[in-house]
Chain A
């Protein structure tokens, strides 16, 4: 098991190098000059040139990328932000906290609502409950988060005055963003649970369990859900990974100082070290979530354990 985990962690190194190279190259290919963005349009062109030289931006692409890699691998340093001149790692650690909390709360909302609804829908297939929830789930998948977010603000902040519309300091400030961001995941998890359960419910071992007189609750929650859990777990993992990296709109609407907002702002300013830092954060978090999901498989399905040894 530990050998497997170590192998997976080592595999992260080529992923990080590959991702950083692609991002570096894309930013290089896109037009725009970070120095112009830092100094503004009113700055003296001579000063712009001097700062460009000082920041090493006149060096060829491979030299700059090589310098970045060397710093990252040898000094474990992602450099300083072009814009704020503060270390990228410090800034990302600071901004990661709200992003991780938001993603965790959203996925919790999604699991707590999605799995039970999915199970009931599967058990009562084609009932009114099933039809209604599946239509709502479809709407949930289609509904853009910025629209849902604004509607939630209008209802809970403006009309009812119950919850604050921005910020991320207290639990009350976290409710609306978690609901808005979690809505799509609820829908995805509900649909996945339903289809996965439907497949299992029709299998022979469920019939056998019922035939031997097992209680329906036990049949569904233990025999059926246990076997249906693998695809659900995979979906939860993917959803959580996406929430960690893709909460930009939610962070903007609810004024949450997270990594998503930092990444978009940095892309606009061509702040290459910061963009790289944010992308690496997302890539590494995704890889870790996948690893955790893989490990969880072995608990859900003991047969998978054999692959680790």
Chain B
């Protein structure tokens, strides 16, 4: 018996020693030589022209630079360009910084810029972002000057070229790598590429010849941790320094942990409930207005997003130019008015319809609450949840009644939202899934595109937003927010509303 007990004690001891030994390999110490960032998804490519992918953009923003860049407040600054100018709002000339080196040792020349733009304009995944730049107009008068011309005036072009798709690549590196360029990126950024283990991590190393301020740390690793809970646990236990996409449920946990802190910034996205205006019952704007007055947006946002982001009060969020979001309150809840509007439109007893959404939990939750709100005015709603691909197919064919969707702008210019979402020419697959057709809206959108930035353009967009709010092609629900958790000693992380962030200026306290 004694022998047996001794044996058990020995086994337990050996096991616990083994476990402790294994645990020892994990670093919990603060290391200022390396920054580890947990992301929720892997990049699809590291070639800026190949894909419009925000997870890839997060990594590419450390490897590449653009001619210009955007800061957290939406202001544009020169980056690889020393200056730029336009005389007629059609032709834009960029003067490049001299002595900027690519990671392969080559110097940045205007020919690289031209080459990068040619690739972006020819890429089906990103060309829509720069749609009005004439691909035949790209010119390099000398090694440090680059010019392009627009096919028609487009005031949002400088904002558009802040997009990661316009990052500058090395012509020589792209040609040498051929089909393998996606996994052998060469830019002028603060970090150069080392390795990429698909679905696991991307490792970068400081570029010692960087043209800006050298980062404080030598190695940067992006680790893919798809589960939100796991990202937080890794942050709490010291496995990573920064965790992206903290879920609304976990925000409080980070706030209450004195070893962690939150970085947050509003992004370019708005979640909305689209209304299929082609369907008979929704063709009358009064029905759509009635729906808007029945839904308590503030309550939905509080219940579903728990204080992350805010209830929408305009067609697009306040991070985009000329937004009226800050000057308005979300549509007032007024059940009596809603019932009256429905009765005036010929539906005194309401009707039945469906809200279709994809599988994202917060959209299902919001739809479920709206179902209860709409019951009060006699609209009987069923919530239909579809897998993403099936959902998009139904949207494009106009087979939905009401649907939940978010639109995330590719640049701070409002045209990136209003043209695809509300112009009649984009009805269906173009992005105008409510199939909204209104001449006044169409005219204002085109006028806004063609008018240079200034008070006149501002007025056009303000009028346009008021018109959209009045015609209610969609109920704008929630303006999203980017939430990043970090260790307390992390400082100077520069977030952008684009959804990609600059990690290279990070310093450790």
Contact = CB atoms under 8 A, between A and B. Distances in A.
Interface of A: 30-33, 36-45, 47-48, 50-51, 83-86, 91, 94-95, 150, 153, 156-158, 161-172, 175, 252-255, 257, 261-262, 265, 268, 270
Interface string B174-194: 000001001100000000000
Interface stretch (B78-86, B121-129, B454-462, B482-490): B121-129
Closest 4 CB pairs of A and B: A32-B389, A172-B22, A257-B199, A47-B124
B237 A158 contact: yes
Interface residues of B, number: 53
Given A165-B237, A170-B25, A172-B26, A30 B390 contact: yes
A157 B233 contact: yes
Contacts of B349: none
B230 A253 contact: yes
A48 B19 contact: no
Contacts of A270: 389
B182 A166 contact: no
Contact of B182 (A48, A84, A165): A84
A145 B132 CA distance: 52
A124 B227 CA distance: 43
Contacts of A43: 52, 124-125, 128
A45 B393 CA distance: 13
Contacts of B229: 150
A40 B124 contact: no
A182 B57 CA distance: 37
B393 A158 contact: no
B431 A41 contact: yes
Given A39-B124, A165-B239, A48 B200 contact: no
Given A42-B128, A47-B128, 10 more contacts: A38-B51, A39-B125, A42-B420, A85-B179, A153-B230, A157-B237, A170-B22, A170-B25, A253-B230, A268-B387
A43 B26 CA distance: 43
A165 B234 contact: yes
Interface string B279-318: 0000000000000000000000000000000000000000
A175 to B, nearest CB: 6
B131 interface: yes
Contacts of A261: 199, 226
B99 interface: no
Contact of A257 (B19, B25, B200, B394): B200
6 contacts: A33-B389, A39-B52, A42-B52, A158-B237, A169-B200, A172-B25
Interface in B182-233: 182-183, 197-200, 223-227, 229-230, 233
A95 to B, nearest CB: 7
Given A170-B25, A172-B26, A257 B197 contact: yes
B145 to A, nearest CB: 30
Contacts of B387: 32, 268
B74 interface: no
B125 A38 contact: yes
B437 to A, nearest CB: 17
Interface of B: 19-20, 22-23, 25-26, 28, 44-45, 50-52, 124-125, 127-128, 131, 179, 182-183, 197-200, 223-227, 229-230, 233-234, 236-237, 239, 387-390, 392-394, 396, 405, 407-408, 410, 420, 428-431
B182 A85 contact: yes
B183 to A, nearest CB: 8
B128 A164 contact: no
A255 B20 contact: no
Most buried by A among B200, B223, B394, B405: B200
Contacts of A39: 52, 124-125
Contact of B430 (A45, A156, A253, A255): A45
Contacts of A45: 428-430
B227 A252 contact: yes
Given A32-B392, A36-B392, A94-B198, A166 B234 contact: yes
A169 B224 CA distance: 13
A47 B52 CA distance: 14
A224 B431 CA distance: 69
Contacts of B236: 158
A252 B225 CA distance: 8
